Chain A
Amino acid sequence: MSSDVRTVSYDVLVVGAGGAGLRAAIEASAAGASVGVLSKSLLGKAHTVMAEGGIAAALANVDDRDSWRVHFADTMRGGAYVNDPRMAEIHAREAPERVRELEAWGALFDRTKDGRILQRNFGGHRYPRLAHVGDRTGLEMIRTLQDHGVHAGITFHMEQTVTALFRDGARIAGAFAYDRERGRYTLYEVKAIVLATGGVGRAFSITSNSWEYTGDGHALAYEAGADLADMEFVQFHPTGMVWPLSVRGILVTEGVRGEGGVLRNSEGKRFMFDQIPDLYASQTATDEEEGWRYCQGDKRARRPPELLTRDHVARCIMREIREGRGSPHGGVFLDIAWIRGRIKDGEAHIKRKLPSMYHQFKELAGIDITREAMEVGPTTHYVMGGVRVDAETQMSTVPGLFAAGECAAGLHGANRLGGNSLSDLLVFGKRAGEHAAKYARASAPARCNPAEVAEAGRRALAPFDGAPESGEGPYALQQELQVLMQDEVGIVRREEEMRTALESIGRLRERASSVRVGGNREYNPGWHTALDLPHLLTVSEAITRAAIERRESRGAQFRDDFPEKDPAFGAISVVLRKGPDGRMLVSKEPLPPMSREQKAIIEEMK
């Protein structure tokens, strides 16, 4: 088999074409850089499309008490104060401008009565803050960026996957990719790279993520010498579908609860009232009536407990299921149909506000959500951790290597608020693109080492060495890893189990080197799955090591053996990097300090 490599050059290469990648590419191109974008799937299919609820931005269109300061404080509180405060501030300050810009590019959001962008309630946000389009905001956002981007002088390479990055001395120099269609290799020799590869959901068996989310950006950056941070913080979204089994994990938007949907156990009880965390006690409704008034826009009312942060809601659901009060298929009930008794024309209202949820349940589960309760349970949704980046520029610890969106760490701390992801993509996508272009402008061309390039080509072909029967199948190995991570490093964690998991991951890594596939290089999903495996194993190891290191419970990390918060861990980030001997090094590094103003805001909003 030939391993011919074609070489293509750009100033800036963007890896990933979801919200962050597209926004970065648009910005870098506008700054005058030549820009290439690689997408693992077709353009417009990235996971951004699945985002349903909205984009969080303190536009203050619905409640004029909102401001960037409140948004900042909400984000920090939601992240249990281990966020990078500088990123949280930049995000809160710049999100409104990024949303308005989308409108100028053709996005059509739902409107207020006076014709401005409408905003809705969401978990952890004090005021209605999410600009939205029914429950398909992500589609609106990605299509707007895509349609704008294709006229912005950017070159798109669809269905290309990166398997290795190269450095020239300390700085980044290029990326090695194969195309799905023919399995041909391309070396991208570039001055700067923006990683915008999204998440790691495929490391777990129950996930809302598609096949693409194998932690590519995380693993590529790590292998290239960059730091990863906060990898222990994996968000389990409280509401995924649980039945039928084949759709288990598919997301049910938090928007259902924002519109008044309530969680009940098998006894019909709204169990979320049973346990309210201290941090949120003063902001949470004391009874069902007050919660309903909040969802109806009553500014004096406080939010219902269903809209507490995702980590907390997910744990409460797990408790109900474990204590035997779950639904028939191992979830709990999410009921929006009940609002028909409270508002006029409830059925039409639900269909208008939650059209894709209506469609999804009707088609896939045979359930009419305007009449029946849904069954839901936690699903792996998002990783707060990622490539450790500079707050201003999004540059990693490797010069010229940038990261934005889900594959970057810092903004969300220990737990991400719903709606803060889409705004993250826009705010930091733009910044990454801007600074990557700036870096490229100031840099001479970099060169990739031909020996390393040849080695990357050989490594990618290894799964074809010998008959498929002579090695392991890639699908079975991937599945084994997913079950392992779900069971041993999932929502509830214990040191002993995680130590066992770590050993298992080591054994899986050895076995991964003997994975063999049939067929040829043309559009061969078995081969693609085999090449994703090393990335999945690296992020799984990173998650596990970081989770062991953080001996406390905070945000999305719940340790059964350390169920309380520990203030010492509130001041550090767990950082992972590749040691000189190739082993993964774990260290605790102090969080960036908060400014006096930031401290004052948090104090004031407590």
Chain B
Amino acid sequence: MTTIVIKGGTIVDHAGERRGDVLVDSATGVIREVGLSLTGDEVLDATGCFVVPGLVDLHTHLRDPGHEAAETIETGTRAAALGGFTAVMAMPNTDPCTDSGPLVTAMLHRSADALCEVLVSATISLGRQGESLSPMAEMADLGVRLFCDAARGVQDAGFMRRALEYAGSVGAATGLPIVLGQHCEMASLAAGSAMNEGAVATRLGLAGQPAEAEELMIVRDIALARLTGVRVHFQQVSTAGSVAMIRAAKAGGVPVTAEVAPHHFSLTDEACESYDANFKVVPPLRTASDVAAIKEGLADGTIDAIVSGHAPHTPDAKEQAFDEALPGVLGLETALAVSLTELDLPWPTWWRCCPGGLRPSPA
């Protein structure tokens, strides 16, 4: 049986950062040994590279089907592999959106040969309209564990309550860990906005959305998670107020979890001063005090995972006026590097939150 040895790299995992070689079985991909001065049939020189267990990204937009000019399953999973990910959770806001069993099956089938594993998520509501429940049990049977309307928050509190109640039943009936993810944005406060509301938005003459557009949905869903006992996962949290509320909810035993994207702990709304639409993201880049609060939330476990938030668009969609450009930034190739650069956390803490999105995968 032939082997590959990954030599001379810096291994980064739960145990910390150290020099070491990794011996891999080339047929199965299984790691045989981690140590120093290992030999194998084939040598991969990893000098100057980080060697990490396969990372899992909980928030990837593959744009396929429907927006293949921006990204495809093939190009997206290549970017993932380049960034150290062996599995990505594909968001369901494709065209058509993933809101039925056949569409889940098609996605699984089409991604079977991709360069990394593609985990398929599906919508909470049919057509992401926030009105009628998607067939969650049918899609759970096919392997879906995360349901979210992706890039669109569920606006109606009554509908979100029903979705949580039903998801709770699907979880109980199947014994599967079913989770509802929420894009935290109240449309009525965020409508027409291009960036964070504040002094920078005023100066730039751009419509902003207040932190409260996110926080109102978080406070609502904490209440609904408490009411139903069903877990809500807050996607791409961006404000200090959100972190504080999630911390308090967790302390009170409410079943909530949260993720953040690297741009929300590495950049502020001042980046928008260039009017470069690469800095237009949803939720928007916030302020220095929000960045600090997110770092604290990562350090104390309030935030469970870092995700790439990978949201590609064509250059044409980005080389537009800032208020007309589509929101979203690339992340798969840079998530690990930005996290390593920006976060000054003790190793066990870093590892816990970094690979949560970036968590070592059994896959």
Query: Is chain B found bound to chain A in the same assembly?
Result: no
B: residues with CB less than 8 A from A are none
